[in-house]
Amino acid sequence: MASQKIVFIVNPNAAVGSTGREWPRIEKMARDRLGPFQALLTTGPGDATVLTYNALHKGAELVVCVGGDGTLNEVVNGFMGKNGPIRPEAMVGFIPRGTGCDFIKTVPIPKELNRSLDVIITSHTRSIDLGQLEYMDHHGHLSSRYFHNITSFGLGGEVDERVNRSTKIFGGFISFIWSTLISILGYNKKRIHLTVDNCFDQSVMIWNVVVANGQYHGGGMWVAPRAAVDDGLFHVTIIGDFSLAEVFWNLPKLYNGKLLQLKKVKTLVGKRIEASSDQQVLLDVDGEQPGQLPAIIDIVPKAVRFIIPK
């Protein structure tokens, strides 16, 4: 009988379906290393949230996500109820198997299977912050969700929409850089009204605004080099009114950590961000594209116990 205390949430479609093909090997190695556990495979969007939520209500102490940042986002949402964490003592483990896997560039979970299982076995946890996002979904309804890594709006949402409509067979970096280049050519800058706590309240012309808990998104874009997942703050990066030529000239700085040196890039820290616009401005939430502005984003300090290397 599989242990109800350890539950694996597996997205077989992650990494262009290779996770499903590799799952028998992953499962055997995990059972050899961890002992018995219950394995639940997702069949579509939102499944991981429901499966995680139900598992925690049935007493799960450890939920291991097998997938990418999108699957991890759903698992994290399954940990959260209306009044905060469902089981504050429960832990999240992660076996990265996605297209981008940007979060593990901030929280260093190894991609190699044996090493990621080593991390889970140690059960060494760090309580990480989450973002709580209220936004307008594609049907015009007010919706709410959590995120563990980054929410952005502007070009990031356009890129997500393109990435998720195209093949990811060439991997995360190529998928995101190609979609970014194509999206830049067809993108019109947006005017938004942005507030960050009581320190910033302005209308600004932007290419993208990043509200960061982690440091990377978009297949390796280093957009928030100073962000920490447990400091109780968002690190906000405003990519401002660049010309098209300036965007292409400075594109390498998105990847090498020098983005913040640019005069038209502004950085802020805060706990509550509000953004609105008269234009359609799409959201990027941990690599998914769930809707658009207006949005209100609040920090939830130390919301989830995440297993990380010592």
pLDDT in tens, 294-308: 999 999 999 999 999
Q: What is the rounded average pLDDT for all residues in the chain?
A: 92
Evaluate whether residue 155 is within a structural domain.
yes
- Weakest-pLDDT range from 61-70, 160-169, 203-212, 267-276: 160-169
Report pLDDT for 218: 85
Size of the chain in residues = 310
CB 214 within 8 A of CB 249: no
Report pLDDT for 113: 95
Report pLDDT for 188: 86
Q: Which residue has the tokens 């359609």?
A: 280
Query: pLDDT band for position 279 (50/70/90)?
Result: very high
Say yes or no: 163 and 85 in one domain.
no
CB 71 within 8 A of CB 65: yes
Evaluate whether residue 309 is within a structural domain.
no
Domain boundary among the residues 123, 156, 177 is at 123
Say yes or no: 73 and 160 in one domain.
no
Give the number of C-alpha atoms closer than 13 A to the C-alpha of residue 123, restricted to the C-beta side: 8
pLDDT at 89 exceeding the cut of 90: yes
Query: pLDDT band for position 9 (50/70/90)?
Result: very high
Q: Say how many domains are in the chain.
A: 2
CATH value at residue 277: 2.60.200.40
Say yes or no: 286 and 250 in one domain.
yes
Say yes or no: 81 and 203 in one domain.
no
pLDDT at 15 exceeding the cut of 90: no
List of residues 6+ apart from 245 with CB closer than 8 A: none
Q: Which amino acid is at 241?
A: D
Q: What is the pLDDT of residues 158-182, one digit of tens each?
A: 776 666 565 555 555 566 677 777 8
141 exposure class (CB count in 10 Å sphere: 0-12, 13-18, 19+): exposed
Say yes or no: 146 and 260 in one domain.
yes
Element (H, E) at 23: helix 18-34
Say yes or no: 161 and 114 in one domain.
no
Evaluate whether residue 252 is within a structural domain.
yes
Report pLDDT for 178: 73
pLDDT at 137 exceeding the cut of 90: yes
For residues 73 and 285, give the distance between their C-alpha atoms in angstroms, rounded to a whole number.
9
Listed in order, strand segments (DSSP E) in the chain are 6-10, 38-41, 62-67, 80-81, 84-85, 91-96, 125-137, 142-147, 150-154, 190-196, 200-206, 208-212, 216-217, 221-222, 234-239, 265-270, 272-276, 283-285, 291-307
Strand partners, 209: 153, 238
Say yes or no: 242 and 271 in one domain.
yes
Domain boundary among the residues 123, 142, 164 is at 123
Q: What is the pLDDT of residues 19-78, one digit of tens each?
A: 999 999 999 999 999 999 999 999 999 999 999 999 999 999 999 999 999 999 999 999
Evaluate whether residue 308 is within a structural domain.
no
181/261: higher pLDDT? 261
What mean pLDDT is predicted for residues 267-282?
97
Q: What is the pLDDT of residues 101-136, one digit of tens each?
A: 899 999 999 999 999 999 999 999 999 999 999 999
Say yes or no: 34 and 137 in one domain.
no
pLDDT at 185 exceeding the cut of 90: no
Percent of all residues in the chain with a pLDDT value above 70, rounded to a whole number = 93
CATH value at residue 34: 3.40.50.10330
For residues 256 and 269, give the distance between their C-alpha atoms in angstroms, rounded to a whole number.
21
- What tokens does 277 get? 């616009």
Say yes or no: 82 and 154 in one domain.
no
Say yes or no: 118 and 138 in one domain.
no
Evaluate whether residue 297 is within a structural domain.
yes
Say yes or no: 161 and 229 in one domain.
yes
Evaluate whether residue 310 is within a structural domain.
no
pLDDT at 287 exceeding the cut of 90: no
- What tokens does 235 get? 């690190």
Say yes or no: 108 and 179 in one domain.
no
The model carries a pTM of: 0.91
Could you write out the DSSP letters of every residue in 120-164? HHHT-EEEEEEEEEEEEETTS-EEEEEESSEEEEEHHHHHHHHHH
CB 129 within 8 A of CB 146: no
Evaluate whether residue 186 is within a structural domain.
yes
Domain boundary among the residues 67, 91, 123 is at 123
Range of the domain at 29: 6-123
For residues 55 and 67, give the distance between their C-alpha atoms in angstroms, rounded to a whole number.
17
What mean pLDDT is predicted for residues 204-230?
95
Report pLDDT for 1: 33
Evaluate whether residue 28 is within a structural domain.
yes
